């Protein structure tokens, strides 16, 4: 927020440092969207904790100060909001759910979605999660027997799609064992196009469509038809079984029940569709990417893999998979390992925001309506916030860990955001991640299928590993 008394002492946005730009295009010619986050981090090394880039004619502030980034999250939705492009682009795609909504619309949706994702509902869902994890185990046993190389991200996405579809609709699509229904083949087109459109210098698709835009339109039509069919079927089922309003069995039932409980609520059927699809998209990509990065670190650090395995063995005994949700609370090292994975490889390395009013940032006057990119991964790997910040060291997260004089600033660790818009799907994501990691440690060894090909980071709205192909082996 801006103290007008200090306004004369503040520097203008025009005086911010920034990389050299060209007329009209600004810095767009220097940006590869798949590596956008890495380019911004490189410029931050050169220019300091606050600088600006030009995306076409638009100034964008890039921010890498821990306290200031926490304020971006904490002062939402009043002072800051997501960049307007996210709201407009998701609205065009008919997926403006709790992730992209703002103001009173967000408050209404957040309440209903949080009720549908509370811990009690996740615990009731655990038997289905157990069943799906067992199915993934059997798939990996077959791949291990044939020594078949696996593109790990896509393979784990089969698991997360099955989990989120069962959680969302109570429908078992079994993409692990089959190709699944056609809707699953269209979901993976959404995030890359969302990333492209949000960062486009102008909305070209409103005037002409490229082949990728036409493919997206076809995919969205199939997704909408399929998901709305699920919603209609769910309403009919709940009308026949009114007890489901008191004890819903899946996310869709829970969100419809919550809508019905809010007498006079403005929560619409379109918002139900948007939030169900948001859950599907978030559950498919983000959780799967974290699991994939964790597997890569297990390969890189066999000593950590051995420690995680010993922890799982001690808790599970002879069981190949966790059988009770309480067991997942007995994996302190695995939780530390996951935290360290998310610190170094967060699915959201950039937090795109916008000012609702004039603000002061690190001595600069930032006008209302200015886009701000919070470089959340950059602060998480800054030496001022974590000792040996670029090293993979899960021990730093263990209770009672002696970090000596090393920094351990948890306010710089923001994989699920913070403040009022903290991610409501955190518990579900961590439950899935721990289930798969425990199953992996208990039953398999793994190795890179092509160790000569480096694994790279790729940004497609969510950040994921590229070229991560592995082989599973029966546990030695």
Per-residue pLDDT tens digits for 13-61: 999 999 999 998 999 999 999 999 999 999 999 999 999 999 988 899 9
Judged by average pLDDT, the poorest of 193-202, 396-405, 418-427 is 396-405
> Which pLDDT score is estimated for 102?
77
> Which pLDDT score is estimated for 6?
60
State what percent of residues in the chain have pLDDT above 70: 94
**pLDDT band at residue 264 using 50, 70 and 90 as cut-offs:** very low
Q: How far apart are CA 366 and CA 14, in angstroms?
A: 10
> Which pLDDT score is estimated for 130?
95
**pLDDT band at residue 256 using 50, 70 and 90 as cut-offs:** confident
> Which pLDDT score is estimated for 186?
80
| Residue range 317-329: mean pLDDT, rounded | 95
Q: How far apart are CA 404 and CA 420, in angstroms?
A: 33
Q: What is the pTM of this model?
A: 0.90
- 351-355 and 80-82 strand pairing: antiparallel
Q: Which residues contact 246 (CB under 8 A, 6 or more apart)?
A: 257
| Residue range 63-73: mean pLDDT, rounded | 97
pLDDT at 90 over 90: no
Q: What is the pLDDT of residues 342-387, one digit of tens each?
A: 999 999 999 999 999 999 999 999 999 999 999 999 999 999 999 9
Instruction: Select, from the ranges 191-195, 412-416, 425-429, the one with the highest average predicted confidence (pLDDT).
Output: 412-416
| Residue range 319-338: mean pLDDT, rounded | 97
Q: How far apart are CA 441 and CA 443, in angstroms?
A: 6
Judged by average pLDDT, the poorest of 191-200, 277-286, 325-334, 453-462 is 277-286
> Which pLDDT score is estimated for 1?
60
**pLDDT band at residue 94 using 50, 70 and 90 as cut-offs:** confident
pLDDT at 289 over 90: yes
| Residue range 432-436: mean pLDDT, rounded | 96
| Residue range 125-137: mean pLDDT, rounded | 94
Quick count: other Cβ atoms within 10 Å of Cβ 94?
A: 16
Q: How far apart are CA 342 and CA 335, in angstroms?
A: 11
**pLDDT band at residue 243 using 50, 70 and 90 as cut-offs:** very high
**pLDDT band at residue 265 using 50, 70 and 90 as cut-offs:** low
pLDDT at 191 over 90: no
- 364-366 and 11-12 strand pairing: parallel
Q: What is the mean pLDDT of the chain?
A: 89
Q: N- to C-terminal Cα distance for the chain?
A: 58
Buried b (16+ CB within 10 A) or exposed e, 305-323: bebbbebbeebbeeebbbe
**pLDDT band at residue 295 using 50, 70 and 90 as cut-offs:** very high
Nearest CA to 183 out of 84, 305, 55, 276 is that of: 276
Judged by average pLDDT, the poorest of 33-37, 221-225, 251-255, 471-475 is 251-255
Q: How far apart are CA 72 and CA 81, in angstroms?
A: 8
Helix (H) or strand (E) holding 446: strand 444-448
């Amino acid at each position: 927020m801006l103290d007008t008394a200090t306004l004369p002492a503040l520097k203008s946005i025009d005086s911010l440092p920034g990389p050299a730009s060209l007329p009209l295009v600004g810095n767009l010619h220097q940006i590869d969207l798949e590596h956008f986050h890495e380019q911004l981090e490189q410029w931050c090394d050169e220019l300091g904790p606050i600088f600006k880039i030009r995306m076409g004619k638009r100034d964008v502030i890039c921010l890498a100060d821990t306290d200031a980034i926490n304020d971006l999250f904490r002062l939402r939705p009043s002072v800051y909001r997501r960049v307007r492009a996210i709201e407009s682009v998701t609205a065009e795609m008919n997926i403006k759910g709790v992730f992209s909504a703002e103001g009173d619309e967000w408050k209404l949706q957040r309440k209903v979605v949080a009720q549908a994702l509370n811990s009690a509902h996740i615990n009731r869902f655990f038997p289905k999660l157990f069943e799906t994890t067992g199915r993934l185990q059997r798939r990996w046993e077959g791949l291990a027997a044939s020594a078949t190389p696996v593109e790990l991200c896509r393979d784990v996405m089969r698991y997360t799609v099955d989990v989120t579809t069962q959680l969302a609709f109570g429908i078992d699509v079994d993409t692990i064992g089959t190709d699944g229904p056609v809707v699953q083949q269209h979901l993976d087109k959404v995030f890359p196009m969302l990333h492209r459109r949000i960062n486009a210098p102008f909305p070209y698709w409103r005037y002409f469509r490229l082949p990728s835009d036409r493919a997206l339109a076809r995919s969205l039509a199939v997704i909408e038809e399929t998901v709305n069919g699920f919603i209609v079927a769910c309403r009919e089922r709940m009308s026949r079984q009114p007890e489901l309003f008191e004890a819903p069995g899946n996310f869709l039932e829970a969100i419809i029940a919550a809508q019905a409980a809010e007498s006079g609520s403005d929560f619409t059927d379109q918002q139900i569709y948007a939030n169900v699809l948001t859950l599907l998209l978030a559950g498919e990509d983000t959780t799967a990417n974290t699991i994939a990065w964790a597997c890569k670190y297990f390969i890189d650090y066999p000593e950590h893999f051995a420690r995680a395995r010993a922890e799982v063995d001690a808790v599970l005994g002879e069981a190949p998979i966790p059988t009770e949700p309480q067991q997942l609370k007995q994996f302190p090292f695995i939780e530390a390992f996951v935290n360290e994975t998310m610190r170094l490889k967060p699915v959201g390395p950039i937090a795109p925001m916008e000012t609702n009013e004039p603000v002061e940032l690190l001595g600069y006057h930032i006008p209302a309506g200015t886009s701000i990119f919070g470089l959340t991964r950059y602060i998480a790997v800054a030496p001022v916030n974590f000792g040996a910040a670029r090293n993979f060291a899960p021990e730093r997260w263990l209770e009672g860990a002696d970090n000596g004089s090393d920094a351990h600033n948890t306010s710089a660790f923001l994989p699920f955001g913070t403040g009022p818009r903290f991610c409501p799907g955190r518990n579900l994501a961590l439950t899935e991640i721990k289930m798969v990691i425990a199953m992996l440690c208990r039953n398999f060894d793994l190795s890179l299928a092509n160790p000569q090909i480096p694994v790279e980071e790729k940004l497609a709205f969510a950040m994921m590993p590229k070229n991560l192909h592995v082989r599973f082996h029966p546990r030695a």
